[in-house]
Amino acid sequence: METGKGTLLICCGAIANEVVSMVRHNGWDDLHIQCLPAHLHGTPKKIPEAVRAKIHAARGQFDDMVVLYSDCGTGGQLDAVLQEEGVDRIGGAHCYDILAGRDEFARMMADEPGSFFVTGFLARNFDRLVLRGMGLDRYPHMIGRFFRNYTRLVYLAHTDDPKLRMHAEQAAETLGLRFEMRLVGSGEYPQFLETRCGLNCR
């Protein structure tokens, strides 16, 4: 039963900019966004229980809840938690394949398995989330060892923002990778929310 409390979107901080921008652009005022810390991206085993805690905290405050995480390296554990909690999520294996589009992502990975993907958020917070998050700020000589099998950094750009592009280019340079930018907009998120929540995209 709808009570006018709207729908809560639980999403990863790493795609917060994309989701907020999409919701605003489409005027979806009944959608409310709460993000989990982006650093969980680096410790996916912690994601399922963090999502569960968010669901429990929000229970009763909204008419509906939707999780905008993909499996994101949880190996099906996120789905197990969501089944227990009776909440559904957008599909996909990684947020990158939803952003890039699943067919396109599969093609990119088949073409070049050594593709390292970043969103705008990850590009802007590269030092904190990637270098410091992996402990590579203390052992910069290990960057080459860690990324030696990668060949390119693919920046999945929500908009053509020169500042974010510069951050992403710097990240590629730090890792010694070829830089590529793909303008992907909000990827498959709007279509999913249109169908799931009965909304219309602008």
Put the strands of the sheet holding 64-67 in their side by side order.
31-36, 7-12, 64-67, 88-89
Show the binding pattern over residues 157-186: x = contacts other proteins (CB under 8 A), - = does not: ------------------------------
The half-sphere exposure of 107 on its side-chain side, counting CA atoms within 13 A, is 5
Residues in the chain: 202
Cβ(159)–Cβ(184) under 8 Å? no
- The count of chain residues that interact with other proteins, using the rule CB under 8 A, is 29
Could you say whether residue 24 binds other proteins (CB under 8 A)? no
139: contact with other proteins by CB under 8 A: yes
6 interacts with other proteins by CB under 8 A: no
Stretch of residues binding other proteins (CB under 8 A), selected from 19-27, 29-37, 71-79, 189-197: 71-79
Site for other proteins in 76-115 (CB under 8 A): 76-77, 80, 93-94, 97, 106, 109-110, 113-114
Instruction: Using alpha carbons, list the distances in angstroms from residue 65 to 11, 94, 97, 144.
Output: 11, 20, 22, 42
- Binding to other proteins by residue 134, rule CB under 8 A? yes
Rg (CA), the chain: 17
Instruction: Name residues whose C-beta falls within 8 Å of residue 5's C-beta, 6 or more positions apart in sequence.
Output: 61, 62, 63
Site residues (vs other proteins, CB under 8 A): 44-45, 70-77, 80, 93-94, 97, 106, 109-110, 113-114, 134-136, 138-139, 142, 145-146, 149-150
